[in-house]
Structure 1
Amino acid sequence: MARKTSLSGFPEWLPEERLVELHVLDVLRETFELHGFSSIETRAVETVEQLLRKGEIDKEVYVVSRLQEDEEAPEKDDARLALHFDLTVPFARYVVENGGHLTFPFRRYQMQKVWRGERPQEGRAREFTQADIDVVGDGALPFRYDVELALVMIDALAKLPIPPFVLRVNNRKLAEGFYRGIGLQDTAGVLRNIDKLEKIGPEKVAQALCDELGASPEQARAALQLASIRTEDTSFVEQVRALGVNTQLLEEGLQELAEVVGEASRRAPGTVVADLSIARGLDYYTGTVYETVLVGHEQLGSVCSGGRYESLASTGKKTYPGVGLSVGVTRLVSRILAQGMAEASRKVPTAVLVSLVDEESWSQAQDVAGQLRARGIACEVSASAAKFGKQIRYAERRGIPYVWFTVRAEDGSLAHEVKDIRSGEQVRADPAAWTPPAEDLRPVVRPAGA
């Protein structure tokens, strides 16, 4: 991997590593488009007020200001500009502002950089790339989209050079209905503590529920019993009901979660788990919540997460409910590279280096390169007419598989030959017709050992 950058938390890739990242982005893009999602891009900045409307993330937001004081700068802190920390909040603003020009339900995907002022560590950066998909409705959105998005993301992740993964699903209605049923009314506070379960363990979570929220030991124990339920099918429904809590909100959440898990387990068995410990930290989720972990790499955290939100996007008169999932592309690529899970077949896009026999042949070499490029073959021309051996060694260092030679025969005609510098094979070639094997046309990203 590339060396650590001088500015912690802002990863930079070497060219061959960037090819792996581009492969991940291309696979996601192609899959999202196959499922009917349209691409958008939103601005990098939002107002502080817009970003902080939902969720307790104020310490993570980077505020943007000019070095030279701006006389027209807003007086209110909430009107200042800040870099977006995710793509969902900017998307909600985008929908409200462009609702009259969109067709609903609106299916979008978005791949952009985001920024968070977190402490850099493995899997967490201050600048990173996310790839999101969302479906948003006008006033209402059928629950079926919660099921569909899980299936779309399973399809996308299954095509990436990563280990097996598990999409863990829960429903906030289920959790909140249960907490209220046992007498805990600060459901957001309970969710925030349950969300720390894997980090600090059940004993500390139980203590926090008692100390911070005033829960009794029995209430804390019941909340942890719910969070301990995990099934690969809909059997979680009976396990929850066996806990003896019954509320309308709980029942609604059970039915919705059963629909997601039932359909996903039928279409992609083993990839979806009902995990009732999943809470998600952001407050705008109102129903289904998702988290995805790589099997054997659970300590990395979730590589794809999201959920249902009913009122994140709203004009006051109109509400746009939605459901979405976000892939942490940088987190995924970092693990792929660190563990050698995949690699590019070569370092550069260039397939052919067109050599120079002398300095006067540069223009002629550009003619050859132009013919090759016209047929989609990436190539570059040598900068100088060094000895052929030196030009070949340059191609080797760059990872270019072929070197093109043009020489003038005694009768004045031009003879073209191309050399595969890996095998040493050199053959006659016509620049208007020659094409490398399909696997050499462009770099290919393959799983390790493939």
Structure 2
Amino acid sequence: MTDSPLVRPAPVSGFPEWLPEVRMIEQKWLDVIRSGFEKYGFCSIETPSVEPLSVLTAKGETSNEVYALRRLQEDADDSSDSRIGLHFDLTVPFARYTAQHFNELVFPFKRYQIQRVWRGERAQEGRFREFTQCDIDVINVDHIPLYFDAELPRIMHEIMTGLGLPTWTININNRKVLQGFYEGLGIGDPLAVIRAVDKLDKIGPEGVGKILSEGLGISAQEIDSCLALARLRGTDAAIIDEIKGLGVKSELLTEGLDELAYVLDSLGNLPPGSVVADLSIARGLDYYTGTVYEGKFVDWPNYGSICSGGRYENLTGSFIRRSLPGVGMSIGLTRIFAKLLAEGLLEAGPKSPSDVLVVIPRDERWKDAEATAAALRQRGMNVELYHQADKVTKQLRYASRKGIPFVWFPPFEEGKEHEVKNLASGEQTTADPATWLPTAG
């Protein structure tokens, strides 16, 4: 009988996985994000990893990225599994969820959702085929107050500050400003111009100008005005005067400027430079209709956005005939985490969550060691019991390699005292399982 060939344990490109000491940091990040969302009254939901393909392709823009699912050994006459696919974002499942539970939800409905999503695209730096998205959205029936357009970036600011990320900015714009400005110039298809301007950071002003000129037939003077608008930056209401100074007028532009001014004014007490009005931010998806957001690392301007989102007019239009406008933002957790890990900016944690390792001095003392471990766990500590009687030096080395800070020695003999060793300081003292508490070494 011959052994079967070994399968090489190679990772699949675009599907990241972390060692325990790195995963522990990611879990702490998730706790910070979850706490930040809940602090503002957002409730958690979770939807299935799969949705009907009819749901996933309802919008059309990303249908080429959907992973469809089927069983490897499916029956030839059973096509049920061929109609489902992995969700590529959390917005489409949220829309389906809201429509399905419309009569049971309380509006405005404030939800957060932290889940994996899957996209069938080419893996590269900052782009993955499987990644974790952290979404918040507020939706309401018929009207969503502008107040929420300012609350969401404030929440993101608090969370990213709490994570201690390298310098970043949340860039804000308003689609009404862009569309109204282009309409004021007399451009017939302003949405096409928005999609072109959204490519500015990838292909530069010349590339955008070429699209506008050759693809859309826009005059050189109009292109100059579009690019002049896109170059404007500001951190307060003064940016509104600069936009007005370009000499373009329209009713929609005025409405957008009022909304942009409100959001900037509401966020004016945040640290200077952390929120910037950036008139080049367009967010190419057509369903955005008002405020749009895009967070970026300052030191890596060409790296993808680390948080993004915007206001939309109707989340559930594909599912129910009720107007449900809303505003949402998403933190690209995997994108942020992977970048900081690659740059060496994440300090890995221990390889174990244990506070204490209880040693097994010899087989006859197993029950005493087990009782000690149970007593410490009962008092709220994470405790690992070594798996067999072994040399104490080997057990100490095991604790050290896993980053377990304390090693507990049950009595080797009846009548003796317990002892605990702080591996950081090397200090070893007597201790009582009923009262001892871990301290920093």
Deviating more after overlay: 263-272 vs 171-180? 263-272
Q: Between Structure 1 and Structure 2, how many residues are aligned?
A: 431
- Pair 1:389-2:393 in alignment: yes
In the other structure, the counterpart of 2:28 is 23
In the other structure, the counterpart of 1:231 is 234
Q: Does the aligned pair in 2 maintain the 1:54–1:283 contact within 8 Å?
A: no
Q: Deviations over 1:339-374 (max 9, x none)?
A: 232324422101111101112322321111111111
Q: Does the aligned pair in 1 maintain the 2:99–2:320 contact within 8 Å?
A: no
In the TM superposition, what is the alpha-carbon distance from 1:210 to its structure 2 partner? Answer: 1.6
In the TM superposition, what is the alpha-carbon distance from 1:233 to its structure 2 partner? Answer: 1.1
Please give the alpha-carbon distance, in whole angstroms, between the structure 2 residues aligned to 1:300 and 1:277: 16
In the TM superposition, what is the alpha-carbon distance from 1:336 to its structure 2 partner? Answer: 2.1
Structure 2 matches for 1:23-102, cutoff 5 A?
Answer: 23-54=28-59, 56-67=61-72, 68-69=74-75, 71-73=77-79, 80-102=83-105
In the other structure, the counterpart of 2:4 is none
Q: Does the aligned pair in 2 maintain the 1:130–1:327 contact within 8 Å?
A: yes
Q: Deviations over 1:183-231 (max 9, x none)?
A: 2222222122111101111001110112222222222222111111111
- Pair 1:298-2:301 in alignment: yes
Structure 2 matches for 1:127-138, cutoff 5 A?
Answer: 127-138=130-141
In the other structure, the counterpart of 1:444 is none
- Pair 1:332-2:348 in alignment: no
Deviating more after overlay: 149-158 vs 105-114? 149-158
In the TM superposition, what is the alpha-carbon distance from 1:94 to its structure 2 partner? Answer: 0.8
Please give the alpha-carbon distance, in whole angstroms, between the structure 2 residues aligned to 1:316 and 1:423: 64
Please give the alpha-carbon distance, in whole angstroms, between the structure 1 residues aligned to 2:48 and 2:284: 24
In the TM superposition, what is the alpha-carbon distance from 1:414 to its structure 2 partner? Answer: 4.3
- Pair 1:186-2:189 in alignment: yes
In the TM superposition, what is the alpha-carbon distance from 1:295 to its structure 2 partner? Answer: 1.8
Please give the alpha-carbon distance, in whole angstroms, between the structure 2 residues aligned to 1:342 and 1:148: 29
Q: Deviations over 1:368-405 (max 9, x none)?
A: 11111111111111112111111101111111111111
Q: Select 2:354's aligned residue among 350, 353, 363.
A: 350
Q: Deviations over 1:130-166 (max 9, x none)?
A: 1111111012111111111111111111111211221
Deviating more after overlay: 50-59 vs 331-340? 50-59
In the TM superposition, what is the alpha-carbon distance from 1:58 to its structure 2 partner? Answer: 2.2
SS across alignment from 2:426? coil
SS across alignment from 1:266? coil
Q: Does the aligned pair in 2 maintain the 1:40–1:108 contact within 8 Å?
A: yes
Q: Residues 414, 320 of structure 1: CA spacing in aligned structure 2 closer, same or farther, 3 A cutoff?
A: farther
Two-structure CA RMSD over aligned residues (Å): 1.8
Please give the alpha-carbon distance, in whole angstroms, between the structure 2 residues aligned to 1:191 and 1:44: 32
Q: Does the aligned pair in 2 maintain the 1:265–1:271 contact within 8 Å?
A: no
Q: Does the aligned pair in 2 maintain the 1:161–1:342 contact within 8 Å?
A: no
Please give the alpha-carbon distance, in whole angstroms, between the structure 2 residues aligned to 1:103 and 1:269: 36
Structure 2 stretches lacking a partner, 5+ long: 1-8
Please give the alpha-carbon distance, in whole angstroms, between the structure 1 residues aligned to 2:222 and 2:80: 47
Match of 1:389, as an amino acid?
A: T
Q: Does the aligned pair in 2 maintain the 1:54–1:282 contact within 8 Å?
A: no
In the TM superposition, what is the alpha-carbon distance from 1:304 to its structure 2 partner? Answer: 0.4
Q: Please, what TM-score do these two structures have when normalized by structure 2?
A: 0.93
In the TM superposition, what is the alpha-carbon distance from 1:55 to its structure 2 partner? Answer: 5.7
- Pair 1:319-2:323 in alignment: yes
- Pair 1:222-2:222 in alignment: no
Please give the alpha-carbon distance, in whole angstroms, between the structure 1 residues aligned to 2:367 and 2:214: 78
Structure 2 matches for 1:260-271, cutoff 5 A?
Answer: 260-271=263-274
Q: Residues 161, 279 of structure 1: CA spacing in aligned structure 2 closer, same or farther, 3 A cutoff?
A: same
In the other structure, the counterpart of 2:244 is 241
In the other structure, the counterpart of 1:368 is 372
Q: Which runs of 4+ in 1 moved over 4 A?
A: none
Q: Residues 154, 414 of structure 1: CA spacing in aligned structure 2 closer, same or farther, 3 A cutoff?
A: same
Please give the alpha-carbon distance, in whole angstroms, between the structure 2 residues aligned to 1:119 and 1:217: 35
Q: Please, what TM-score do these two structures have when normalized by structure 1?
A: 0.92
In the TM superposition, what is the alpha-carbon distance from 1:251 to its structure 2 partner? Answer: 0.9
SS across alignment from 1:308? strand
Please give the alpha-carbon distance, in whole angstroms, between the structure 2 residues aligned to 1:389 and 1:289: 59
